[in-house]
Every structure is written in structure tokens, then in C-alpha cells.
Amino acid sequence: MSQARLMDGTALARRIVERTAHRAAELTSRTGVRPCLATVLVGEDPASVTYVRMKQNRCRTANIASRHVELPAETTTARLVRTLRDLSADPSVHGILLQHPVGDHIDERAAFEAIAAEKDVDGVTFASFATMSFALPGFVSCTPGGIMRLLDAYDVDPAGKRAVVVGRSAILGKPVGMLLLARDATVTYCHSRTRELSSVVREADIVVAAAGRPRLVRGEDVKPGAVVIDAGYNAGNVGDVDFATAVERASLITPVPGGVGPMTIATLLEQTVDAAARQLAG
Ligand code: NAP
């Protein structure tokens, strides 16, 4: 059997960011206003600090202004909610990203819900989940949205296909399943209590691995010719799929890194410009 074709998220993300930069510049020259993303970081977790810095750097390349709010680790839910409400009410901010996870002592859901729906460019609020689920216009969760763009770019039409999503987190597994369902896939969710994971995955035409477990999905679990999307990112640049064996059976597969990862930030930037365009149009 021939090896799967790689789904190049780096190249696709680059094209999206270039287009986004062009749209942002055009919006600024027309309105005099630069699209602005506010990032909010609680505490000093090194991975979160790196992610936020990456997002700010990418904003610059996309002609998007960024405003950064740093709060101490001991910030209360009430204080964080107040900060997010203030940013929601600030007309010079068009999109808001709360870097998560926040500390265990914070009610993360309450914080997400303090983000105005029209500024939820990371797609984390209940309102965004509802629009994703009902296939209505709105913001998508960034990683799931990036996955759908990758499928489209490689002409994978989910309609009628069996899709298996391994993972059911609020920001990744659940919304990507809803987006696939909205595109008429037959969707099965797997999670830590799923029995006989391998036999469920073996039925999939499209597998989305989003469990945060290194090499959980093995090549022998992949139906020959399936499309394999690996959203996992574990220590040592290892995904949730055993790439070396899965590449022998899949028809298309995302590498780690360079597959899903770059698409997440590209989607965030694109949605920030969408948000600014809508807000500036009144
Ligand atoms: P999460 O919140 O920890 O959720 C993990 C999900 O996987 C849970 O639903 C869990 O089930 C399920 N799971 C855990 N072990 C399992 C097993 N052995 N079999 C089947 N399901 C299992 O993680 P997340 O935030 O969704 O992230 C998942 C992965 O994606 C991580 O590697 C993360 O680094 C990566 N990620 C990448 C990007 C990107 O931009 N590329 C963005 C976000 C996340 P229960 O619900 O039963 O606990």
C-alpha cells in the first residue's frame, strides 16, 4: 500500500495569514482603525506564556494590533470576569482571547461567558458553540475550524462519511464533532470511558485524534484509505496518532508538527479581522 499524502497545515496557514494581512490592511486604510486582538493571560505558566507570545507575533505579521493583559496567578474569577467584560465593552478591541487553562481556582466557564459573543474570536462561549452546532454564522473554535479548513483544502467532503472524534473537550473534540455533523458526516465521539476504542476507530473514514495521549491511535486502527487528522500535541513533538504506522494505511494524514497546529492561529487571526469588519460596519 502506498503512503498517505501529507496535509500541509503550515503552507495552508501561511496562505490564510497572508490573505488576512491583506484584508486587515485594506480595512485599516478604509476606516482608519486597525483590527485589535486582546490577549489575557493569568499567571506565568511557561507554555501559556509562549503560546500568547506566538499569537502576538503572528498578529504583527497579519497587520493586527494586539493588546496584552497580564494578571497574577492568584487572580479571582470576579476580577477576571471584570477584565473580560471591560474588554468586551471597549470599542477599540475587536477580538478577545483568554489563554487557557486558567488556574483551578478560577471558574473558567464564567470567564469565557464574560467575553462578548461578537468578540469571541477563539470560539469558546456557549453562543459560539450553539452557532457551530446549528451551522449558523458566528465564530468557530479555532482548532476545529482549522481542521475543517484543512479537510476542505484537500477536497475531503465529510458528507455521508463516518467520522470518529477521539476526545470530547469543550474547545476541541465536541466542537469539531458538531462541525463535522453540520457538514453531514455520521459522527461518533470517543472518550476515556469508551470501550474498544480500536474497533470504533477502525470504522472511521475520517479520524480526528484529540485526546492528548501520545500515539493513542495506532496504524492498525486506521481503516485503509481513511483521512487521519492528528490534533494532539504531546511532549517531544508527538501527536495522538502513531504517525509511522498510520501513514502506511491512511490516504491523507496531518503531520505533527505542521498539520493542525498552524491552522489554529491562522483561524484566530482570520476571525479577528472578521470581527473587526463586522464591528466597524456598525
Ligand atoms: P483535554 O481537555 O485534556 O481532553 C482530552 C479528551 O480526550 C477528553 O475528552 C478525554 O476523555 C479524552 N481521552 C483521554 N484519554 C483518552 C483515551 N485513552 N481514550 C479515549 N479518549 C481519551 O484535551 P484538549 O484540550 O481537547 O486537547 C487534546 C490534544 O490536542 C492535546 O494533545 C492538546 O495539546 C492538543 N491541542 C492542540 C491544539 C493545536 O492548536 N494544535 C489546540 C488545542 C489542543 P474524558 O472526557 O472522558 O476525560
Mean pLDDT of 8-16: 98
Contact by Cβ (8 Å): 223, 249? yes
Position 178 in a domain? yes
Position 194 in a domain? yes
Position 188 in a domain? yes
CA of 209 to the centre of ligand 1 (A): 8
Strand order in the sheet with 252-253: 5-6, 252-253, 227-230, 206-209, 162-166, 186-190
Q: Is 167 annotated as a binding residue?
A: yes
Q: 6 pLDDT exceeds 70?
A: yes
Atom 16, ligand 1: residue with shortest CA distance: 192
Position 277 in a domain? no
Distance, in Å, from the CA atom of 74 to the CA atom of 107, rounded to the nearest integer, reads 13
DSSP annotation string for 57-68:
HHHHHTT-EEEE
Catalytic-residue membership of 56: no
* Same domain, residue pair 42 and 96: yes
The catalytic residue among 3, 45, 56, 99 is 99
Distance, in Å, from the CA atom of 251 to the CA atom of 4, rounded to the nearest integer, reads 4
Average pLDDT across the chain, whole number: 97
* Element of type H or E holding 208: strand 206-209
| pLDDT value of position 2 | 81
Q: 44 pLDDT exceeds 80?
A: yes
Q: To test ligand 1's pocket by mutation, which of 52, 171, 233 has the most ligand atoms within 8 angstroms of CB?
A: 233
Domain residue limits at 246: 142-260
Burial class of residue 158, CB neighbours in 10 A (0-12, 13-18, 19+):
buried
Place of cell 500535541: 233
Cα 185–chain centre separation? 19
Place of cell 504583527: 60
Strand order in the sheet with 65-71: 65-71, 36-42, 95-98
β-strand pairing of 65-71 with 36-42: parallel
Mean pLDDT of 5-26: 98
Catalytic-residue membership of 3: no
Mean pLDDT of 252-256: 98
Distances (CA, A) of 82 to 46, 68, 103, 186, 282: 25, 15, 16, 41, 25
Q: 39 pLDDT exceeds 90?
A: yes
Q: Cis bond leading into 175, ω under 30°?
A: no
CA–CA–CA angle 146, 151, 152 (5° rounding): 95
CATH of the domain at 77: 3.40.50.10860
* Same domain, residue pair 176 and 98: no
For the chain, give the percent of residues with pLDDT over 70. Answer: 100
Ligand 1 site residues (CB inside 6 A) read 143, 166-169, 171-173, 190-194, 197, 210-213, 216, 231-234, 260-261, 264
Place of cell 472518550: 191
CA of 164 to the centre of ligand 1 (A): 14
For the chain, give the percent of residues with pLDDT over 90. Answer: 99
Contact by Cβ (8 Å): 223, 172? no
Q: What is the DSSP letter of 110?
A: H
Q: Structurally, how many domains does the chain consist of?
A: 2
Which pLDDT band holds residue 232 (cuts at 50, 70, 90)? very high
Mean pLDDT of 88-109: 97
The pLDDT tens digits of the residues spanning 183-223 come to 999 999 999 999 999 999 999 999 999 999 999 999 999 99
Q: 282 pLDDT exceeds 90?
A: no
CATH of the domain at 215: 3.40.50.720
Position 41 in a domain? yes
Which pLDDT band holds residue 1 (cuts at 50, 70, 90)? low
Q: Is 168 annotated as a binding residue?
A: yes
| pLDDT value of position 273 | 98
CA of 168 to the centre of ligand 1 (A): 7
The catalytic residue among 120, 122, 205, 274 is 122
Position 26 in a domain? no
Catalytic-residue membership of 155: no
The pLDDT tens digits of the residues spanning 129-158 come to 999 999 999 999 999 999 999 999 999 999
Distance, in Å, from the CA atom of 213 to the CA atom of 281, rounded to the nearest integer, reads 44
Distance, in Å, from the CA atom of 231 to the CA atom of 182, rounded to the nearest integer, reads 20
Distance, in Å, from the CA atom of 36 to the CA atom of 92, rounded to the nearest integer, reads 7
Position 266 in a domain? no
Grid cell for residue 107: 471558574
